[in-house]
Amino acid sequence: MPVGSLPAHQVGCPCCGLSLFIPVLTPGESALCPRCHQHLVRVETHPLDTPTAYAIASLIIMTIVYTQLYMSIDLFGMHIELTIPYMVASLAQQDYSLLAEIMFFLTFGSPVLFLLLCLYVYTGLRYQQVLPGMLYATRTLVRLRHWIMVDVFYIATLVSYIKISSMAQIHFGLAFWLMMVLAILLIRTSQGVPEHWIFYQIQRLTGHDPTLQIHNADTINCHYCLFEQPDTQNVCDVCGSYLSRRKPLSLNISMAFLLAAIIFYIPANLLPMMITRSPGTNLASTILDGIEYMWNDGDVLIAVVIFSASMAIPVLKIIFMLVLLYSAAYRPLMSARKLTMLYRITESIGRWSMIDIFVVIILMSAFSTPLAHVTPGAATIYFCAVVILTMISALSFDPRLIWDEVKQHPSHHKSSTKRHSS
Ligand SMILES: [Zn+2]
Ligand SMILES: [Zn+2]
């Protein structure tokens, strides 16, 4: 078997709960769940080199992006030079420290930590050494993947550009152009670190082979590493996570976060999102006001983007989560395949709502002169809370419950659930 291959073994699909046998995977091959099409594992063509190279390249580019000029703005005879740290610092100085922390974590903290943990784990694998906390590092980097929002910030910059360019001259610096490369590299790096494969490699270093079949015991599949474990255990031997057939209290926790998000969504829409001051005027605008102004000003494209990010996505996400929670708790409202699709959409679109928050932050940094001054309104904090709470609600939801419920109400699901191999 080529180096880095994954032997044939039994896994549990984390999305639909199907227990299935996957054949030997050699570098360049991947396995999908035949029932819900969930991506189970992919072995990179160069399993050790590719993620390491992408992580190092990302860190180098990140250093440039966060130290060099992002954009410069000429407004009313004043020249303003913006770097990313300057934006975070000016938020903190103007008493928006919570917004500053959120921006710092989503655009810098989580990607840096993610990349450093990748390098740590892959260094251990490359030199065949079990480093302290390798399992914990792998579990943490998997969780951090959801909270990397460099791409969202980049799109927010493009939206802000259209807005600012109608009033001022903008020049983009090196950091702006490299941020696009960084966003792509980060996506590629996070796709290139398959946790199932990493956990197998770490266990191999410790002399255990988690792909060996378990005999004489009932088994349970770990939700995080997908390997089979005896169902008498509380903690997974392979990845160190807590073991359970389904995430404990998944529906209650998911519903609690969703309810909190729905409550916060009210002030997020009623309070001002952005306050614009210029001599003689003091304008506080809510999300809807902002969209209306832009539409009337002829900025149709930004109006559509902000409407999608700030109104459509949060509302759709809340509706989708309610459908999923109802279907998993009581009666499936549609087929399991469609519900799974809904779950995947909900999980992936949520982060894009942060566009509006990032736009307000960029506008605030750009318009900080006495002649034109923009500050974030109270709604920004509530809106951030809505985005974060709906994301946690989706992440707490156990999609396998959809398929459990469909089994009890078979009218919605006709395909067989026998074991497949791919
Ligand atoms: Zn599946
Ligand atoms: Zn596990």
> Which pLDDT tens digit goes with each residue over 84-97?
999 999 888 888 88
Cβ burial 269-281 (10 Å sphere, 16+ → b, else e): bebbbbbbbeeee
Indicate which ligand has the atom closest to the C-alpha of 33. Answer: 1
Cα(75) to ligand 1 centroid in Å equals 55
Higher pLDDT among residues 136 and 162, named by residue = 136
Tens digits of per-residue pLDDT, 246-302?
A: 888 999 999 999 999 999 999 999 999 888 888 888 888 898 988 898 889 888 888
Cα(36) to ligand 1 centroid in Å equals 4
End-to-end CA distance of the chain: 18
Is the confidence metric ipTM above 0.90 for this complex?
yes
Q: pLDDT category, 411, cuts 50, 70, 90?
A: low
Cα(379) to ligand 1 centroid in Å equals 39
Stretch 210-237: mean pLDDT: 86
Q: pLDDT category, 201, cuts 50, 70, 90?
A: very high
Tens digits of per-residue pLDDT, 314-341?
A: 999 999 999 999 999 988 898 999 999 9
Cα(10) to ligand 2 centroid in Å equals 13
Residue 300, judged by CB atoms within 10 A of its CB (0-12, 13-18, 19+), counts as exposed
Indicate which ligand has the atom closest to the C-alpha of 38. Answer: 1
- In the chain, CATH 1.20.140 sits at 48-198, 246-412
The mean pLDDT value of the chain amounts to 89
For the segment(s) 246-412, the CATH number from 3.40.50, 2.30.29, 1.10.3470, 1.20.140 is: 1.20.140
pLDDT of 193 over the 80 cut: yes
Stretch 50-64: mean pLDDT: 96
* Both structure tokens of 296: 């009337």
* Both structure tokens of 196: 């199932």
Q: pLDDT category, 196, cuts 50, 70, 90?
A: very high
CATH topology of domain 48-198: Butyryl-CoA Dehydrogenase, subunit A; domain 3 (1.20.140)
Residue written as token pair 């396995």: 31
Q: pLDDT category, 199, cuts 50, 70, 90?
A: very high
Q: How far is CA 279 from CA 65, 143, 365, 377, in A?
A: 35, 47, 18, 19
Cα(266) to ligand 2 centroid in Å equals 39
DSSP state of 242: B
pLDDT of 168: 85
pLDDT of 280: 80
Phi, psi of 325 (to 5 degrees): -65, -40
Cα(282) to ligand 2 centroid in Å equals 56
Q: How far is CA 184 from CA 104, 187, 191, 250, 383, in A?
A: 19, 5, 11, 33, 27
pLDDT of 417 over the 50 cut: no
Radius of gyration of the chain measured on its C-alpha atoms = 24
Q: pLDDT category, 11, cuts 50, 70, 90?
A: very high
For 149-299, where are the alpha helices, taking DSSP H only?
150-165, 174-191, 195-205, 250-270, 287-296
Stretch 43-66: mean pLDDT: 94
How far apart CA 362 and CA 358 sit, in angstroms, is 6
Cα(19) to ligand 1 centroid in Å equals 8
DSSP state of 46: S
Cα(394) to ligand 2 centroid in Å equals 21
